[in-house]
Amino acid sequence: MTGASRGIGRGIARSLATQGYGITITSRADADLVEVAEELRSLGAPLVVHRATDLAARDELPGLVALHAETFGSMDALVINAGIGTAGPVASTRLDRFDKTVEVNLASGLVLVQAALPLLRTAADADPSRASRVIALSSITGVYAEAGLAVYGATKAALISLMETINLEESGHGVCATAVAPGYVETDMSAWTTDTIPAEKMIRVDDVVAVVDMLLELGRNTSITKIVMTRSGASSYGA
Ligand SMILES: NC(=O)c1ccc[n+]([C@@H]2O[C@H](COP(=O)([O-])OP(=O)(O)OC[C@H]3O[C@@H](n4cnc5c(N)ncnc54)[C@H](OP(=O)(O)O)[C@@H]3O)[C@@H](O)[C@H]2O)c1
């Protein structure tokens, strides 16, 4: 799973650990991953492997999946969680920032899915009642456009489309894909907007974790391609 060092990703990793999953975790700083891995083992994960990788380094991503393959041999779930925010009006959006956001928020997901599909299919073949799952953290901004978040929203919209297509191509063989698209969640990423939306009014990390846990419980015959999580009290179309 990507982006395990903080925020939503760390919450998902903790829950997977308590359920007894063996997990491969990544983010950019090795020291963070050592600490998270220790925590996950203490929560019940039988085996945790980690490798620090910048998701913008496209060529390094198949190696992450290879590390998982060497350790586990198959993959029950690929959680594509890490992402970066990019704010600013379309008129002044810098193309280098566009490229970086596309690379981290979108291209890395495709590269990881391509590398992981054989492992996900192996897991699906091992138990015909269960699906293996690709779960990607999109955003409500990928469903409803938000002024000032064009590039971020575009990557998150594309991620939804990617999950829908994976689902069309693979779910008949037991690999189902879902995009989870929340409004503001209380993490480091949303800290910049707490003067207008107080942290206590944001979606809790635990609620996103609960949605991911629910997806992992579903049987093979159920696919959910997109889950939109609206912040209570907000407009249905706003983050
Ligand atoms: N928070 C929200 O309001 C919100 C709402 C909707 C959707 N989301 C989405 O949910 C996901 C998780 O968000 P969050 O709020 O938990 O964010 P966060 O607290 O900022 O954590 C982001 C995670 O992604 C990792 N990451 C960032 N850039 C990376 C890179 N270039 N290479 C590898 N790892 C990288 C970070 O690790 P390091 O920095 O340690 O490398 C960290 O583990 C994101 O995709 C985000 O777009 C968030």
Which residues are CB-contacts of 115 (< 8 A; sequence separation ≥ 6)?
61, 62, 64, 65, 66
Instruction: Give the model confidence (pLDDT) of 37-78 as tens digits.
Output: 999 999 999 999 999 999 999 999 999 999 999 999 999 999
Helix/strand/coil for 232 = coil
Please report, for the domain that includes residue 195, its CATH number: 3.40.50.720
Whether residue 146 lies inside any domain: the answer is yes
Question: 126 C-alpha to center of ligand 1: Å?
Answer: 32
Mean pLDDT of the chain: 97
| Domain assignment present for 123 | yes
* Residue nearest (by alpha carbon) to ligand 1 atom 46: 83
Tell me, yes or no, whether 112 lies in a domain.
Answer: yes
Ligand 1 center from residue 33 Cα (angstroms): 14
Residues annotated catalytic, as ranges: 139, 152, 156
Encoding tokens for residue 193? 């907007």
> Predicted confidence band at 236 (pLDDT cuts at 50, 70, 90)?
confident
Q: And the tokens for 25?
A: 């975790």
Residue of 12, 28, 32, 97 best suited for mutating to test ligand 1, as the one with most atoms within 8 Å of CB: 28
Number of domains present in the structure of the chain: 1
pLDDT band at 238 (very low <50, low <70, confident <90, very high): confident
Residue 237 within a domain: no
* Confidence at 171, pLDDT banded by 50, 70, 90: very high
Amino acid 179: pLDDT? 98
Q: Is residue 48 part of a domain?
A: yes
Instruction: Report how far apart, in Å, the C-alpha atoms of 60 and of each of 51, 99, 214 are.
Output: 10, 17, 31
Within a domain: residue 236?
no
**Ligand 1 first shell, C-beta below 6 A:** 3-9, 27-29, 32, 54-56, 81-84, 104, 137, 139, 182, 184-185, 187-190
What is the domain extent for residue 88? Answer: 7-229
Binning pLDDT at 50, 70 and 90, where does residue 154 land?
very high
Please indicate, yes or no, if residue 13 is contained in any of the structural domains: yes
Per the domain annotation, does 1 fall within a domain? no
